[in-house]
Structure 1
Amino acid sequence: IDSAAHRGALDAGGATVAVLGEGITLFLATVRGRRRPLVPRIRATGALVSQYEPSFCARPWMFVRRNATIAALAEAVVVVEAGEESGALITAERARQLRRPLFAVPGPLGSAASVGTNALIASGSARALLGAQAVLEVLGLTAPGALPSHVDPILEALSSGALDADALRRRVRMSEGALAERLLRLTLAGLVTKTPDGRYRGR
């Protein structure tokens, strides 16, 4: 989710800041996988930041502090998914303490990845986020112009009704990763919302 959020911001022409739970020099020397190609893009338009010395090795307690730092830097916090023990709940709690606007994306009942987000909503700690417009409003921003549905197969597929991720992936014939990235971009643009039962709906 973190990588998809950074990639979505960059692909939309925005800037993004990655808050690290270790020293920057060590991170640059060891970063692997899907995060690696994101690093030069983030550095070119945004920033990599760390509150630790450059070569400091990560420890579990450092990520707790990192998550609190994310909340402190943010103007609003959105928790997309969170299990019962997810570190994202630390970010959410710190955001609440700092009185930052806090949103959570509702997920299917019984889903382990949505236990934390659903609990935040049920307790009243976070507002249920069904689209980007609510976040834009608290930030005093306006949504970008809507894209015509004919240029996007996902919007075309959703024009006949809500679909879950598996059904949508079969309909548009995209890989799971590519679909997740595109759905994030469309959600942030306010063109797609996620229903309480985990399906996606075009607006």
Structure 2
Amino acid sequence: MMADKFLIALTQIEGLGPVTLKKLLDLFGSAEAVFRASVFDLREKGVPLKIIELLRDRERLNPDTLVQEIKNEGIETIGFNDLAYPLLLKEIYAPPLVLYWRGNPGFFNKKPVLAAVGSRKISAYAKWVMPEILDSVIKSGVVIVSGLAWGVDGLAHELTLKNNGLAIGVLGSGLAWDNFFPLSNLKLAQEILEKGGLLISEFPPLVPAQPFNFPRRNRIIAGLSEAVLVVEASQKSGALITAACALNENREVMAVPQNVNGANAAGVNRLIKEGARVVTQATDILEFFNIVQAPANPQVQTAAPVSLLAEEKSVYQALSLAPLHIDKIAENCRLEAALVNAVLVKLEVKGLAQNIGNQNYIKL
């Protein structure tokens, strides 16, 4: 599958964005007509001088050469007007007019689709809560989209593969293997393809990762999805850009609540304040997609088991899904820290609590 070679060339003109290019295509009727239009033709159609100057870049572009370079990398393309182009993505403002892809194009329009995004500096809490929430979602047939970055993105893809799910990775670089970013997730990307998944980029194969590429990538992640789940995010996290894109395109935004003192809490908790759907278990997501299925993992107990001793019940009830430091737990249940420490050991043995590091505990 290969998009129109003239459209591929036009999308590689620096400064010519998808909105402007779409207007030119509508004005001239085809990508070839835009590519071949003379300065006189452009002026006669009322094209602004600034755009005419940008279009001078056509002189350095050979459409046939570009297509051959793409084929040499084993990459395929799809154009905005192709029937297989993702319908959800087509609905957004400024959709990419050309997508580069590897893998299974049958995913382009498969539903339901959930984006799972979050911090690159993943916390121990996120490592624990993501499988608790996503395993059942993935097993229910929900396609998982993420950005193949470090941290939450990478774990979302790993969980998808582990549960034999359907994975789509969206890159902020070109799809040439020599340019892949981040290199540490190259093996993960190749495993996505081996297991029938899909890799997508808006960028030509040899484009390296640049900071300004990632907001563009994030709009594609949101655009491909019916809902975006933010697992954790600081105030400046790129995951919040994805959430903002989702809101702008009338997609559902979901968020996993965090410990208010956590480094990756501020952004996600702000989303919840602003009305994001709170997700604490798989059924919160499955209900949105109208999937009636019991989660694979049992729901977390909210009441203390009756077999616990008084101080064990007190400590257990002071715990939550969000990590709490032992000092905070002691404060909450009004017991000495030494006693709380001993009780927590007993609760761990009973499978009711977990030490996730640095004396932080969560309820199981």
TM-score, structure 1 normalization: 0.70
Distance in 2 separating the partners of 1:201 and 1:142: 26
Deviations 1:54-107 (A, max 9, x none): 011122111001011100001111000111110000100111111111101111
Distance in 2 separating the partners of 1:109 and 1:148: 26
Partner of 1:187: none
Find 1:82's aligned residue among 209, 217, 233.
233
Q: Count matched residues.
A: 169
Where do 5+ consecutive residues of structure 2 fail to align? 1-151, 309-315, 327-343, 350-355
Give the superposition deviation at 1:166: 8.8
Specify whether residues 102 and 30 from structure 1 end up closer, same or farther in structure 2 by C-alpha distance, changes over 3 A only.
Answer: closer
Secondary structure of 2:265's counterpart equals helix
Distance in 2 separating the partners of 1:89 and 1:147: 28
Corresponding position: 1:63 with 2:177: no
Specify whether residues 137 and 82 from structure 1 end up closer, same or farther in structure 2 by C-alpha distance, changes over 3 A only.
Answer: same
Distance in 2 separating the partners of 1:104 and 1:52: 29
Find 1:132's aligned residue among 243, 265, 282.
282
Identity of matched residues, %: 35
Name the amino acid aligned to 1:137.
E
Secondary structure of 1:24's counterpart equals coil
Partner of 1:6: 157
Partner of 1:72: 223
Find 1:142's aligned residue among 269, 289, 292.
292
Corresponding position: 1:97 with 2:266: no
Contact 2:181–2:209 (CA under 8 A) maintained in structure 1: no
Deviations 1:36-59 (A, max 9, x none): 331222112211110110011122
Select the structure with the greater relative contact order (CA < 8 A; seq sep ≥ 6): 1
Distance in 1 separating the partners of 2:205 and 2:242: 23
Contact 1:17–1:46 (CA under 8 A) maintained in structure 2: yes
Runs of 4+ in structure 1 off by over 4 angstroms are 26-31, 158-163, 165-168, 198-202
- 35-44 or 106-115, larger mean C-alpha shift: 35-44
Give the superposition deviation at 1:12: 0.6
Distance in 2 separating the partners of 1:166 and 1:3: 27
Distance in 2 separating the partners of 1:66 and 1:55: 16
Where do 5+ consecutive residues of structure 1 fail to align? 150-154, 173-178, 180-197
Name the amino acid aligned to 2:255.
A
Give the superposition deviation at 1:129: 1.1
Secondary structure of 1:112's counterpart equals coil
